[in-house]
A and B are shown apart, each in its own frame.
Chain A
Amino acid sequence: MNTTLIRRTIFGLAAGALAAGGLGSAAYAQRDPAYDAARSAGKVGEKMDGYLGIVGAESPDLRRLVNDINIKRRAVYAEKAQAANATLEEYALTAGCLAIARTVPGEKYQAPDGTWQTRTSAPPLRDSRCPA
């Protein structure tokens, strides 16, 4: 009887750990394949203001994808900005600095002059206020 109880307890703990692991991976979810493909193809790029922009020709599908991500980003920015006692724009601009810095070669980003640039191995052209 005791062994059964111990086994059950162990099984319960293992199940709990799996569930927690599942939740953890959900929080660090990967990009949607369509979004990932659009990034790699240079159809979308990181803007200075912390949002995603369409580079070149716009299609309804692409617009939907970009709007969807930007709405989600805005919600995250708003929540985090409030917690950090900052404005939405300040937080979004900071995230934009970092998002541009994290682009990989081949992806598009917006330079301080407003033009779309393709990221190379060199550091991206960023706003002078961006942190190093």
Chain B
Amino acid sequence: MKLPQLTLKGAGATFLPMQENTSGFIGGRWMAAIAMAGTAFLGGCITVNAPDKPIVIELNINIRQEVIYRLAEDAGNTIEENADIF
């Protein structure tokens, strides 16, 4: 990318304002790439394997038991009040 309007006498600017000029040294991108490659070789990356089985959270059972305990007294009264059908 060259922006001639930024340079009057020199060659066209190849860096935008605020962008670091690292000419004369290895470019920033290359540094980053090398650093990443280095960590990969050193085993610095954390690998996460997806589980073979889907993760199922068994909330249904707990909720139901809680509900049953909540309803127990009421249901007991209902049975006594309707003794002819229980």
Q: A31-B84, A72-B85, A99-B79 are in contact. Are A80 and B74 (CB under 8 A)?
A: yes
Min distance, Cβ A24 to any Cβ of chain B, angstroms: 11
A102 touches B68 (CB 8 A): no
Q: How many A residues face the partner with a CB closer than 8 A?
A: 27
B68 in complex: contacting residue of A28, A32, A73, A130, CB < 8 Å: A130
**Residue A5 is within 8 A (CB to CB) of chain B in the complex:** no
Q: A86-B67, A90-B67, A90-B68 are in contact. Are A98 and B85 (CB under 8 A)?
A: no
Q: Interface residues of A: mostly helix, strand, loop or mixed? A: helix
B84 touches A95 (CB 8 A): no
A31 touches B71 (CB 8 A): no
B71 touches A84 (CB 8 A): yes
A129 in complex: contacting residue of B64, B79, B86, CB < 8 Å: B64
A73 touches B85 (CB 8 A): yes
Provide the B58-86 mask, 1 if CB < 8 A to any CB of A, else 0.
00010011011111101110111111111
Residues on A with beta carbons closer than 8 Å to the beta carbon of B78? 76-77, 80, 95
Q: Interface residues of B: mostly helix, strand, loop or mixed? A: helix
Q: How many B residues face the partner with a CB closer than 8 A?
A: 21
- Count the A-B residue pairs with Cβ separation under 8 angstroms: how many? 68
B84 touches A98 (CB 8 A): no
In whole angstroms, what is the CA distance A28 to B83 when docked? 6
Min distance, Cβ B80 to any Cβ of chain A, angstroms: 7
In whole angstroms, what is the CA distance A44 to B80 when docked? 20
A32 touches B67 (CB 8 A): no
Provide the B37-55 mask, 1 if CB < 8 A to any CB of A, else 0.
0000000000000000000
B79 touches A102 (CB 8 A): yes
In whole angstroms, what is the CA distance A91 to B72 when docked? 9
Q: Interface residues, chain B, CB within 8 Å of chain A?
A: 61, 64-65, 67-72, 74-76, 78-86
Shortest beta-carbon contacts, A-B, top 5: A29-B84, A129-B65, A94-B71, A131-B72, A94-B75
